[in-house]
Every structure is written in structure tokens, then in C-alpha cells.
Structure 1
């Protein structure tokens, strides 16, 4: 049943039942004058259920300032949304409304709060985002894959605090820029139930958090990231860690939590799904993706899944293995939605009454007052980052350069970035100069915008926010062929939700959409440096360290030899724009389709 109102669509289980019983009489014993008399009085019955307000976020990615309302990152179905100042206000208002009705609150998150962040946060190693989330009252969060962008040791610092000796601005980053205010670390608890140290089999962070409310009711939050995290982050960032199956991990924790007297269990999972209609953020029409399989495998003792990773908004119940409804939610990304759950706990059993648990994905509208504390924080860091962000590094002859791909899956912006990597002198070593470059499209986070034709470092960083290093290496023609075929099979196959191909420079080829996996690339079509590719010839190529480690399902890169680390990808990008000022997008004619 759905309850709709302005900006709200409360969802509950398949049938409604009353939460409160009728009034009842009780008998009180009153001691007077040494005798006992009995008097009947009418009193409110003890409530049968406890209502808890559970507020959830995911995939914030350090988006402190609002994004453009005309971009998908800055609106929900045309409604301008997001921005930490508005997010903080909405959370406070929702908690206050719950308290006015006698409900306690808890605020949690499902990963990727930091990493792949705008320069405002990334320039300071995401310390501003952690501080902002501290002020918003976040209590627990699962780790996501992007929490590992700067490595697990840096993630430990995000939890515990302290400053990095990063050379006061080295690589356009500056830890603790205000020496009088060192970074305090996260007040909330990171959770990592399925992330283990290989040598000790202990988890990186606690696997769960148990929240005990005033009436003694307990709710456990199990926090996990996707098992596939090692394949989508830089290898060095997770070296020494092991990531285990999401459902198996959570199921093993259920009996442990029950021994601690916990019946209400919520999973904070940084993995998600894809609704058939991405606009339907308060339902899950035709939902597909990993979350469906994980839900099917999770113990029916687990009452709810708060998910993330796919940047989709959805909210519905899916059947668990006992055919009972279980809430599955996701709050999109960048602080545009808040999942508001009215968790109903049966006081007799201590377990979640799923039929009477309501959920609503609420848009973080910008028609509320900005939270002054968050505004002060953002203003402080905007002042500190301004000299870096506002530096003009080049000009465009067009309003922007698009990352939207053509039918062959090649994009103008992909070509620009690949060209920049190929031209970067920092990867030349021992007289070896790369002749081809490869860029993963998932690392291109936005179109390259300009302001009146001017491109600033901040705008370039929005496109490439990872601070990856460029790596040159030797690959044979045979290895390059294997690499190109890996674009069309396994996790990169056309059936994958985010099927895209590598963006290239110095290489051209044709692929056949109708051909079977393993033979998609048309024989004899590959040219490198303008010449036909030769199987036994060795070629010097360049890519980023994420792909170099086999990221995004490209193990062919791990077979390369004589690897040499150059400079940062963002520096290569910025330098190329400066050297080719003004820049005009080139034709997308490197990748073609045919038979």
C-alpha cells in the first residue's frame, strides 16, 4: 500500500494491521492505614510496537556543494536536489519530526561516502566530507569500493583521524590545511564484515554495530562492500585484504547477533540493482542486478537491505527465501535522496514487523534553509581550494566535450583523455615512448565543461577525480588482441549493465556486435601507430594504474612487462589542454563497427 503526498510515497508490506490495542483496565494496590484497598483505573496499554526512524544515505562521493540542476547529478526527475547544506537540514527536520511523535532515530549509510569526489573534498583527502558527515549525525556506514581509492591505510586514518605529511599541497592535495584544527576522524563507525586481513582473518573494521534504544530495543547493522571490490579499485589500495561473499558473510553473523539478544537485523550493503525505470525512485520496477541474487541468498532472519553502488534510487519489498517481504532500498547518489524508514519492532518478539514497516525515498530539495554549520565548513574549504580550482588551464572552441559515446562506443572526451595520456612525457623511460593509450570509460566522471570557453583545473578534475598514476608498459600484439576481446566478454560483455569499451589513442580497430564473444574484433582490422598489428611485435602502451592492475575485468594488462610509473592522470590531462589551447574535439573515428 502506498501513501502519497507532496514529495512522499510511503510504502509498507502487503497488508495493514493495527499497531496499538484498545484501552484496558488495570488493578492497582494502594497501601493505606495498614490495609490494602483495590481501585480500578483506566490506563493506556503498553504499546505493542516500537517505532524507530531509520535514515539512510549511500554514494555521497564527497559532493558537498550542489551539482548543476540541469545535470543528472543535480536533480531527481527534474527537481533540483542535493548539496550538503540542504542534506543536513533535511536530516535535522526529519529527526525532529520523529522525536515530536515519540520516535528515536538512527542515521546510517551504505558506502562510497568518499572517493571519486569533487575537488572541494578531494583536494583535502576527503577530510571535509568526513567532517560534514560528522555534523549530520551519521552513526554507522559500510565501506564501499571508493573508500579504498587512497588505500586501506588511508581509510583507517579517515576513521581515527590525524594528518598526512603530504608536502603541504603536493599533487594538488593538502591534508589538515588549517594547522590549528587537525583532522578529527569520523565520529561514525565504518563497518566491513566481508573485508578481512589475509594474514590474520580479522576484519578491517567491526563487522556490525548494535544500536540499543532507550526502551531496550536492539537493532544490528551489518556493513559490507561488494565482493568484487578488488577488481574495481587500484590493486595497491587493497593489497593484503580479502573480500568475501556478501550473503555468506551476513548469514554467518546472524546466529552471533541472535546470541546477543538481537532479532532486528539490517544489512548496509554497497552493492545494488537496476530498476527498469530509473525515474521510479520509490519502487523497483523490473529490478535486476546483483542485489536480487544477494537478497535471495540472505537469511530470512535479516529484515532489510539498505543498498548502494549503482547510483539508482529504489524502494520496495522483495521476497526472502521464506517468501516473506523484505525491504530493499537505495537513495540514488550525491545526497539527492534520503531513505526514510519507519522501522516497526514487535515488542513481544523484538523482531521487525515487516508488514508495518514503512519506507520513503525523500528528495533532498533545495527549498529549505541551509544548515549554517555545514555552510561554514564548505565556505572554509572553498576559500582554501580556490587558487587550485580556479586556475584556467585552457579553452574550448565548443561549450563542452562530451563523454557520450557513439554507436561504436567511442566518445569525444574519451579520445581527448587518451590523447593526453599518450602525449604525457612522464611515462617515457629508457627511450621507450608509448605508441597507444587505453582509458577506462568508468573513470570519466563527467563531461568537460567550460565557462565562457575557459577550462579551469577544477572543471578538469571533475572529469578525472581519482589521482591515478599513468603507467607505461610493453605488450605484444597477441596480448593487445586479448585485451581488446576482454571488452566483450565476462564482466564486460554486452549483457553487463554498464557495457562500455576502452577509449583509445594511437590504435584503431573494428568490432562486430553480431560475432560471438572471443571473436568480436574483426580479424586484420587492428592498426597501431597507423600500421597493421603484428602478433609477435612488442609495443609500448600507456594506461592508468587501475587498469594496469587488471581493473574493470582486463587481466591482459597484468601480463604486460617492463612497467614504469609516470605522473598523475589529471596532470597529463591539464597539461594537454594547456598545450592544445584552444582545444577542438576530434572525430570519433578510431573504433568502428562492422563485419
Structure 2
């Protein structure tokens, strides 16, 4: 057993106090009924502070709600466009601002809390998963430690919390060494000081929530309940192994169910943490989506969810789409309700004022105020976060600093067809041909590309050098490269599935290897947007009756991301992980004197 320090025991006691009222693991209906406020914690316990304000309180109490979402283990400042936000200027122009990095996020949150004795910090899921090397290499233990230091009070699960399965999520919550890799330091991993909420994620064997469905924050008679859910479609975007044995229920029905439970226990102020989001009309974080002429504010799944979640819920903290907004959407009774999202990667945080009515125990909804704030890098770094990053970087450096290639300019992941998407598809095609020389083409899902490759990465390794850490940040999922046979008809159908079925409203355009070309006509709708007679491979039309050998990652080979046809391939062959394919391609096709140029991204002809 690893040695434990006094700090270890102190944090363990804090965590035990915080979660004392909850049963570990799966909650039962009986447990919910028996506990007065299960999942609750005193804010004085969680912050370790003592209230000296006396027993007299006025009717209204402002409660500060600080929130963020989709951190994805980005402890260090993200590079390239992933580390910037767009800011709308008074004259209507925009500028970009460098943002993010947990050293700066900690400073901003701590500064924001000053003078606010009633302050809660909550998150909207995807705290971990698809993480850079410093976190992902260690199964995201560093991120959980950072969130503990940030004094995060509560978060919902997101889809990426299931990347490594339910058992690993349970370990992140409860602690313990990794079952395969063991302990990384001389102290056992302690787990999260905060509760993960998973109200709509059920164990198929018990039909009960996998983790706590709700949690209640308390201070001096002020009670605020939190219900946490992830998107119902999580199984469509996570590997089958990651969600094995779990079922994901409707977000609205689940929130409404537990809002009634909380109301029945006397908790009338309720916030929903929802890992599902929307799309604002502007990419600027400070765009006023409630201003006259702003249109519908935000569109997408969260708009429908917000319109149907019971009026008993007073505010919605959302995520998943990596967008930034602080809007109001009418609840079913027609009353405006705050809906927020703080982009991603720790670039923003949202500061919401909830005015609590002590007479009614509810939020005075007309007094709610909310705004997003930039996590700028012009403030002092939090020393405790710097120490944490340095400690984990020391462990990761021998692996992460190894050069794997050279580039002559930024290779970005943005766009319908991206230069980086072309590069990865080409790498998988090349790797596929080492397994089977008859491999014809490769397809890559855009969501599997997590960051751009930047020419000047700022890591001290020299301009144009691609390190293993940077490659890991681009492709962190450890998907294997799989070869399968498809008919030409199936290949055409898979391309149509980019813009039809579950992908019709928000298309997922596959990144394609060199030699495959076609036209995407955005003036049309549904599957017709893929012009069938334009699809060619090496200058010849795809033959519906012919057989083609296709390289994909294991996620797509399982029909993920709304591509059921790609789950119907035959003659399977499984290779090594996709990062290995990328590394081998960069090593073979670039050097310090002949760096790889960004691909032209000209394989898909787009008609607008």
C-alpha cells in the first residue's frame, strides 16, 4: 500500500464529510426515500470555513454560481485556435483573446469568489476524456486533482466520462490505483472531492442510477439542489465497450422526475447540469443572444430541452457543443430561464447570480443575472496549479517530448474538410496498406480530431517540431485502425449518412484519404447533399457492386457517430492504435530539413 501523507488524510476527511449522506455506488429508490437530503453537503464543510454572520438574515440572499464545462483535461493553456476566444467589441468588430490554462482558471475563480460567502462552483460534464498527454497518459488523475484544488462542488457526467467505461468512472469518483497501470506516485489516487451526477445513466442490471442523481448545497438555511444528466445519445458517440451495461434515458423526463423528488424534500431552488448544448448565432462569447434582433438566441438540442424542463428548475448549465452563451429560454410556463455554456477547455467561466428567497425557498427568477468571463492569461498563475502541472509534466516528459515529425506550418482541424483531417486519413491509409496492400481508402470521423498541429507549439521543442505529446493531444482515444470490406453501395450509403439520419441537423463530414473525391451540395437537404455520381476513387466512379477495402478507426468500425453502415463491414482486421499510424506517417514523410506541408483540403468540392 502506498504511503499516505497528512494532506492525504485531510482531503480524504473532507471528501468523506462531503459525501457522507450518500450511499456509495448505485443509489436505490429506498435510499432516496430514506434520506432527508441525500447527496447534500454543508458549504462550510466543503470550503472548510466558519460562518460568523450571526443568526439574522434578510429575505433575499444572492448566491453566486460559477460554472464551466468541457475542460477535457486541458490543464496547460491550449494551443492554436483551441486556446482563443472571440470577443465582440463595442463598435461591432471582433478580436481574439488568448485564454485558458488551469493556472489562470484557478486565479480567476478565486478572485471571483472574493466577497461572495454564498458561492457554488459547478460544471457541465466532460471534465476528462480526449485529454492532452499530461492528463490522458495518467487516466486523467491529474485533472481530478486539479478540480479538487479548484474547489469544484459538483458536476454532471458527460459522454467523455465514459470513454474508459463505468468502472473507470467509478475510480475517478472514489479513488484507488488504476487496475492495470497501478499507482503513478507514492500516494494512492484519492478520487474526486466533488460528486459526479448521473441521473439519467442507469445500470441495466438494477435499473438504478449509476452514480448520484442529485446533490444539495446548503448554507445558513439556503438550499440549492443540482440534478446532473448527460445527453441521451451518449451511446452513439462513445465506444460500445465504454457504455457496456448502461442505459441512457431522456434528459427532460429525468430532470423533471428528480425535480419532483427535490421539491418533495423541501428543496425548491434547483439547477440542472446538462451535458447537452446548443449553437448561438454568434461565435463571440459576449454576444447578447437576448438582445432585440438576436433571433432565436440559441438553436440545437438544448433549446428543445429547455422549453420542456419543468419550471421547478431555475437555471440550466449546459455543455457538449463547446459553444459560449448566456441566454434565456422560456420554460413551459412561458417564464424566462437562464441557459449558459462556457465554451470549452477552461477558456471561459460563467458567473450567475441566483437570488434566493428565504421566505419561499425558491429563486426569484426575475433577479437572475448571468455572464461569461474570459480566463485571460494576464493574471498571476496559481502556484498550487503550477506545482501540480510541473509534477505531472516531470513524469510525462520522457514520453511526451519525443519528436515524431516536422511540419512547415499550422495543420488545422477546422473546416468541413480540414488539412489535419486529410493528413490523418492519409496516415491511416498508409498504415492500412502495411497490413493489407489492397487497402483502397481511409475514413476518419471529425470528432476524433481534438486539436490542430501548430507550427510554433510553444513547448520549447523548436518551431515545426511535432512531439508525441502534441500527437497525443490530436488523437487521444487509443482507437485501433481497423480494415473492413464494403461494397461500393455501402460506401456511398456511408457518405450519405454524413448528412442524413441522426447527422442531418448537425452533419458529421468524414475526413477522406487521397484519391477519394466527391461533391457536397449544401443547397440541397438530407442525403441529397452528397452528389452520388460525383463520388470517385482515383478518378474512377465508385462501382456499387465492387468490393473496397476501407481503413477506419475502431469507433467508426462499430457504427459510431451515426454511421450504422460502417458497422456492417466484413473481413475485419485490427491493427495498432491510430496515434501509432499518425506517428509512423509523420516519421516517414517529414524531417527537420523537409518538413511536411499542410494538405490542401481539396478532396471535397463544396457547393453553397
TM-score (norm 1): 0.84
User: Aligned residue for 2:76?
Assistant: 65
Relative distance call for 1:316 and 1:524 in structure 2 (3 A) is: closer
User: Aligned residue for 1:90?
Assistant: 108
3-state SS, counterpart of residue 306 of structure 1: strand
Relative distance call for 1:375 and 1:474 in structure 2 (3 A) is: same
State whether residues 76 and 336 of structure 1, in contact with CA within 8 Å, keep that contact through their aligned partners in structure 2.
no
Is 1:504 aligned to residue 518 of structure 2? no
Alignment partners' CA distance in 1, 2:326 and 2:67 = 12
State whether residues 519 and 534 of structure 2, in contact with CA within 8 Å, keep that contact through their aligned partners in structure 1.
yes
State whether residues 232 and 248 of structure 2, in contact with CA within 8 Å, keep that contact through their aligned partners in structure 1.
yes
3-state SS, counterpart of residue 299 of structure 2: coil
State whether residues 470 and 542 of structure 1, in contact with CA within 8 Å, keep that contact through their aligned partners in structure 2.
yes
User: Aligned residue for 1:37?
Assistant: none
Alignment partners' CA distance in 2, 1:64 and 1:247 = 32
User: Aligned residue for 2:554?
Assistant: 545
- Alignment equivalent of 2:153, drawn from 134, 139, 153: 139
- Alignment equivalent of 1:148, drawn from 159, 162, 176: 162
State whether residues 441 and 512 of structure 2, in contact with CA within 8 Å, keep that contact through their aligned partners in structure 1.
no
Relative distance call for 1:512 and 1:347 in structure 2 (3 A) is: closer
Alignment partners' CA distance in 1, 2:532 and 2:152 = 55
3-state SS, counterpart of residue 483 of structure 2: strand
- Alignment equivalent of 1:247, drawn from 219, 231, 252: 252
1:261 Cα deviation from its structure 2 partner: 0.9
3-state SS, counterpart of residue 212 of structure 1: strand
Q: What does residue range 395-544 of structure 1 map to in structure 2 within 5 Å?
A: 395-396=406-407, 398-405=408-415, 409-424=416-431, 428=435, 433-450=438-455, 451-493=462-504, 495-496=505-506, 500-528=509-537, 531-544=540-553
Of structures 1 and 2, the larger Rg is shown by 1
Alignment partners' CA distance in 2, 1:313 and 1:363 = 11
User: Aligned residue for 1:259?
Assistant: 264
Is 1:106 aligned to residue 117 of structure 2? no
Alignment partners' CA distance in 2, 1:548 and 1:191 = 30
3-state SS, counterpart of residue 236 of structure 1: coil
Alignment partners' CA distance in 2, 1:504 and 1:276 = 32
Relative distance call for 1:314 and 1:512 in structure 2 (3 A) is: closer
1:85 Cα deviation from its structure 2 partner: 1.2
User: Aligned residue for 1:186?
Assistant: 192
Alignment partners' CA distance in 2, 1:224 and 1:49 = 29
Alignment partners' CA distance in 2, 1:107 and 1:303 = 16
Deviations 1:129-179 (A, max 9, x none): 000001111121100111112222211111111222445xxxxxxx6322x
1:500 Cα deviation from its structure 2 partner: 3.1
User: Aligned residue for 1:584?
Assistant: 597
User: Aligned residue for 2:284?
Assistant: 279
User: Aligned residue for 1:127?
Assistant: 141
User: Aligned residue for 1:18?
Assistant: none
How many residue pairs match? The answer is 531
3-state SS, counterpart of residue 302 of structure 1: coil
Alignment partners' CA distance in 1, 2:311 and 2:179 = 48
Alignment partners' CA distance in 2, 1:432 and 1:552 = 28
User: Aligned residue for 2:208?
Assistant: 202
Which structure 2 residue ranges, 5 or more long, are not aligned? 1-53, 88-95, 456-461
State whether residues 282 and 360 of structure 1, in contact with CA within 8 Å, keep that contact through their aligned partners in structure 2.
no
State whether residues 126 and 160 of structure 2, in contact with CA within 8 Å, keep that contact through their aligned partners in structure 1.
yes
1:94 Cα deviation from its structure 2 partner: 2.3
Alignment partners' CA distance in 2, 1:354 and 1:404 = 39
1:537 Cα deviation from its structure 2 partner: 2.4
Deviations 1:113-132 (A, max 9, x none): 11111111111111100000
Alignment partners' CA distance in 1, 2:528 and 2:324 = 37
Alignment partners' CA distance in 2, 1:157 and 1:426 = 39
State whether residues 488 and 543 of structure 2, in contact with CA within 8 Å, keep that contact through their aligned partners in structure 1.
yes
Relative distance call for 1:554 and 1:51 in structure 2 (3 A) is: same
1:529 Cα deviation from its structure 2 partner: 5.7
Which structure 1 residue ranges, 5 or more long, are not aligned? 1-42, 168-174
User: Aligned residue for 1:326?
Assistant: 337
